Amino acid sequence: MASVDISGQSRARGRDEPAAPHLDALRILASAGIVILHYADYVQDIPFGRFIFLHVRHFNLFVDLFFVISGFVIASQYLGRVSDRGAVGRFLWRRLARIYPLHLVTLGFYVAVALLFTFGHAHVDNPSRYPLSDIPAQVLLLHAIDGQRLTFNFPSWSLSAEMVCYLLFPLMAFVGLRRPRLIVVAAVAAAAVLTLYCVATRVEPWPDWINQGGAWRALPAFLLGVALHLFRDRVARMPIGVVLLPAFVLFIVGGGVMPIYAAVALVYVVAIAAVQCDLSGAITVLSRSGVGRWAHLTYSIYMLHMPVATMVITVGGRWLGANTPAGRFALVAGAMVALVFVSAASYRLFENPVRRRLNDLFDRWRPREAALAVLATPERGTP
């Protein structure tokens, strides 16, 4: 069996094979599911489009899958590396270097749309999506704490939620390294408290929270991911990997008719099973499929799919006058194809170069933290 380091590469398999083929496959499939959900919204006034939209609405819970995977991967790379203020600063800088540049670019795109609309140079179908008053919260990544509505590049709410988890991660690491069971307790308690709050106050279930309260929605999943890393030896021996494909298919097909708490629990089961398969070196249909090779584009696809839809489906549709059902579906298909190329270009030409420059800038600014980080994990790749 291969010895797997989730944060780097499988040492027994060689550096060209992914160390986490199941998690990588789930990441790219989940991002595709979210694209399908949001693109189906553009054709839901067409009977077949409405059918698709109604049967993929639960795909919004794929974001919770991202939160679990994020917690696991962040813990695998940084759990023992955030023990002092300098190390915490380096950790937060590296996370911002990964997520923030593309967030600013997509936010800038929609701010430009908002300005064109404000000064009468553009027509928009949903003007409430472009309030200039929301820009500070978007820039500061605060909109998943108390955002009142979905605005601008609205999938970015999950970045705000992730940032809250990153800020809490040093505390999670401190507790987890000393009392790992407390992380499990915290994950269960977070889910239980949120559920009790929703029942007691009769607000919408917390797995539906997005802008308002989305940060709290992320906590149980992120804590679960950290716990999976802390107990990775036990997880590797758990006989849960066999349920990965059945649970994933069940969620795809039946997640929409389940109670939402059952559906999000099923997402957690999928994540646990995928981690077990990767830790144990299991070979499944999912790992053999090869879709995980595109996992590096997950974030690009997630952040760029709405700007691409705006340009191709909305603007392109007006320019081409594509008002027929066939024309609308053709635009959606065209947006999906364009998204692949735009995401690949963004990752290669913008995200990676900017991230590396920002990380190099920090390492020159704080060389001591950089040297300690290299000594601590000499074989791990860049997160």
**Per the structure, how many domains does the chain have?**
1
Residue 382: inside a domain = no
Contact (CB, 8 A) for 33 and 53:
no
What is the reported pTM? 0.90
Contact (CB, 8 A) for 61 and 267:
yes
Does 196 have pLDDT greater than 80? yes
3-state secondary structure of 381: coil
Does 370 have pLDDT greater than 80? no
Q: Where are the alpha helices (DSSP H) in 41-61?
A: 47-56
Residue 15: inside a domain = no
**pLDDT higher for 122 or 356?**
356
Contacts with 171 (C-beta within 8 Å, 6 or more apart), sequence order = none
Residue 5: inside a domain = no
Average pLDDT over residues 133-137: 90
State which residues form the domain around 63.
21-376
Cβ-based neighbour number of residue 338 at 10 Å: 18
Residue 220: inside a domain = yes
Biggest alpha carbon–alpha carbon distance for the chain = 63
Q: Is residue 310 packed enough to be buried (19+ CB in 10 Å), middle (13-18) or exposed (0-12)? A: middle
How far is CA 274 from its chain centroid?
16
**Sign for the pseudo-dihedral over CA of 74, 76, 79, 80:** negative
Residue 201: inside a domain = yes
How would you label 58-70 residue by residue, b for 16+ Cβ within 10 Å and e otherwise? bbbbbbbbbbbbb
**pLDDT higher for 6 or 120?**
120
Residue 9: inside a domain = no
Contacts 24+ apart (CB under 8 A), 312-319: 312/338, 313/39, 313/42, 314/125
Does 7 have pLDDT greater than 60? no
pLDDT at residue 112 in the model:
93
User: Percent of the chain scored above 90 by pLDDT?
Assistant: 74
User: Percent of the chain scored above 70 by pLDDT?
Assistant: 89
Does 327 have pLDDT greater than 90? no
Residue 279: inside a domain = yes
Residue 145: inside a domain = yes
